[in-house]
Amino acid sequence: MKLYNQLTKKVEDFNPKNKDEVKIYSCGPTVYSYPHIGNFASYIYWDFLVRALMFDGYKIKRVINLTDVGHLVSDADEGEDKLEKGAKRENKTVWEIADFYIEDFIKSYHTLNLVEPYKFARATNYIEEEESLVDTLTEKGYTYETADGIYYDTAKFPTYANFAKLDLENLKAGARVDFSSEKRNVSDFAVWKYVKPGENHTMQWNYQNKAGYPGWHLECSAIIHKELGETIDIHTGGIDHIPIHHTNEIAQSEAAYEKQMSYFWLHCDFIKIDGQKVSKSLGNVYSLQDLANRGFSPMDFKLWVLQGHYKGDRNFTFDDLAAAKKRRLNWRNRIAITYQKDDIKDNKEAMAEISNAINDNLNSAAAFSVIDNSELSMSDWQKIDELFGLNLINDAPNINENIKAIIAARKEAKENKDYTKSDEIRTKLEEQNIAIKDTPDGQIWQYLN
């Protein structure tokens, strides 16, 4: 398999040291509100990565974190904690907000038929490990204290700018640092934040005799080290994580543990909606439920996502989603054909082409083209379902004996030129989501939707 590696800025062969335990970490949600479809696109991309590796014979150990503390509204070191913001919005405690949105996220995750990770790791369950990591960084001389927290001195990590190709000389302080004149460098970041006098921050722990909470970046480093060990195989996230979040993770982990943090780093691009950024002010923040209200299933959306590439500049429209829904219906109806024909052989050539496509930096679009243009057996469709997780076979069951008898009765009516009865039977079948097509080889049944 070849994958684009942000670390080296090129496509490389993926050759894990241990094929029986490929270690993957995915940055998960900050659990303070409902995710929108743009958020779920990233989990679909990385689910496909996991499925493609499994398809190639690898065994996966994957952790997805759940950020329930320390993620400030700026994504850096200033502003309100997003969980506190959610609690005020809904007049609940931060713990209630975290519990509710974690449950909602995992429910949606399962609705999308995404592969269960080894662990969903909640940040507040790793406070001891996070404090220990701050201790280690301090002992090694990488931190300094200010009035509002403990900061990582990025000048002590010579390769800090490499991952995101940051221009530190010309980096403007801006909103990232104007709240604190105590920072030594504009790129320095908090590994531990103190609760300010008068600040209502419910989630807090006593560290070095001061109330505080872990920094957002620290959480991922601590969870990875605890659950996956030193040097994982793949770290995934969004392109927005590159310049700050993942850059800071690398600085923390590699300074503390003196090992490469991850061999591969994969990042997906954002999706736009009708050519515009996803924004509440534009009224284009759609949830999976919003799509369902318009007649689209989670699998329709999943197929739409996988029609493109994780590094592609994607634009979502409902017309395109309708086309994806139609494509999925076509695939389900081709599965229906396999129930009615017993001479469809396994298509080894097509499956090899699909394998080549997915191993070419997860080129699912090319794989879909092969699927569209190849006759496939039930065995082939089962493999395709395992690879893409689209629930094709579950949503394309064979008809029961009762419906088969009704179809046979229509055939008899047509042969007897009783077209009125034939049309009545057709209508009866349509009420059960079954369409009948007359072909030179006889009747075939298909799903209407």
User: What is the tens place of the pLDDT at every residue in 333-345?
Assistant: 999 999 999 899 9
Within 148-208, strands assigned E span 149-152, 189-194, 205-207
Vertex 82: Cα angle to 76 and 84 (nearest 5): 130
Find the mean pLDDT for residues 211-223: 95
pLDDT at 176: 42
Closest CA to 150 of 116, 184, 119: 184
pLDDT given at position 173: 44
Q: How many helices (H) and strands (E) does the chain have?
A: 15, 16
Q: What is the pLDDT of residue 441?
A: 86
pLDDT, average across residues 7-22:
95
Q: What's residue 282's pLDDT?
A: 76
Which residues lie below 8 Å from residue 53, measured CB to CB, with a gap of 6+?
1, 22, 60
Distance CA 359, CA 353 (A): 10
Residue 70: per-residue pLDDT: 61
Residue 174 confidence (pLDDT): 42
Alpha carbons within 13 A on the beta-carbon side of 444: 14
What is the pLDDT confidence band of residue 178, given thresholds at 50, 70 and 90? very low
Question: What average pLDDT is seen over the chain?
Answer: 93
Among 76-85, 300-309, 371-380, the range scoring the smallest mean pLDDT is: 76-85
The domain covering 2-268 belongs, at the CATH homologous superfamily level, to: HUPs (3.40.50.620)
CA distance 263 to 363: 21
Q: Which residues contact 300 (CB under 8 A, 6 or more apart)?
A: 291, 321, 324, 325, 328
Residue 86: its pLDDT value, please?
87
pTM for the structure as a whole = 0.94
Amino acid 63: pLDDT: 98
Top pLDDT among 80 and 70 is at 80
d(CA 257, CA 244): 20
The DSSP 8-state label assigned to residue 264 in this structure reads E
Q: What is the pLDDT of residue 139?
A: 98
| Percent of the chain clearing pLDDT 70 (strictly above) | 96
DSSP letter for 238, please.
E
CB 121, CB 228: distance < 8 Å: no
Q: What number is the average pLDDT over the span 406-414?
A: 95
Average pLDDT over residues 79-95: 86
Provide mean pLDDT across the span 244-263. Answer: 97
| Range 92-99, long-range pairs (CB < 8 A, 24+ positions) | 93/202, 94/68, 94/69, 94/202, 94/203, 95/202, 95/203, 97/31, 97/32, 98/31, 98/32, 98/66, 98/68, 98/122, 98/124
pLDDT for residue 172: 52
The reported pLDDT for the residue numbered 170 is: 76
CA 31 to chain centre: 15
**Whole-angstrom distance between the N-terminal and C-terminal Cα of the chain?**
36
Query: What single DSSP character describes residue 246?
Result: I
pLDDT for 198: 86
Which DSSP symbol is given to 245? I
Long-range contacts of 34-39 (CB under 8 A, 24+ apart): 34/101, 34/104, 34/287, 35/105, 35/108, 35/287, 36/278, 36/285, 36/286, 36/287, 37/271, 37/286, 37/287, 37/288, 37/291, 37/301, 37/316, 38/270, 38/271, 38/273, 38/278, 38/316
Residue 201 has pLDDT above 50, yes or no: yes
Per-residue pLDDT tens digits for 94-138: 999 999 999 999 999 999 999 999 999 999 999 999 999 999 999
pLDDT for position 281: 65
Bigger pLDDT: 41 vs 441: 41
| Residue 179 confidence (pLDDT) | 47
The confidence band for 414, taking pLDDT boundaries of 50, 70 and 90, is: very high
- Domain residue ranges in the chain: 2-268, 296-304+317-388, 401-447
Tell me how far apart the alpha carbons of residues 354 and 368 are, in angstroms, rounded to a whole number. Answer: 8
Q: Compute φ and ψ for 443, nearest 5 degrees.
A: -75, 145
Task: Using alpha carbons, select from 70, 48, 201 the residue that is nearest to residue 115.
Answer: 48
Question: 193: which 2 tokens?
Answer: 């934040």
DSSP letter for 269, please: P
